Amino acid sequence: MDGGVVDPLMTPVELAEMLGVSVKKLQRMRTAAPPEGPDFVMIGRYPRYRRLDVAAWLKRSTVSTKPVRL
């Protein structure tokens, strides 16, 4: 580790609440082939989400509404 602050992990309940989706939806996203949601880590048998991974996934999932200039 580089001595920096560790990003607290989010539970599926916390992430589901933040995204406005069900915990079951997150489970389906994790188990899809290939996985569809943000990267996650397994702590034993419990999935957890890094806030930085969630932010990166949201950025990748953003659809631009800006007009394309030719």
- What is the average per-residue pLDDT within 15-36? 95
How far, in whole angstroms, is CA 56 from its chain's centroid? 8
Q: What distance in Å separates the CA atoms of residue 16 and residue 34, rounded to the nearest whole number?
A: 20
The mean pLDDT value of the chain amounts to: 90
Q: Domain locations in the chain?
A: 9-59
Helix residue ranges, H only, 3-62: 12-19, 23-31, 51-61
pTM over 0.85: no
Q: Which has more pLDDT, 18 or 70? A: 18
Using pLDDT thresholds of 50, 70 and 90, give the confidence band for residue 68: confident
pLDDT at 53: 95
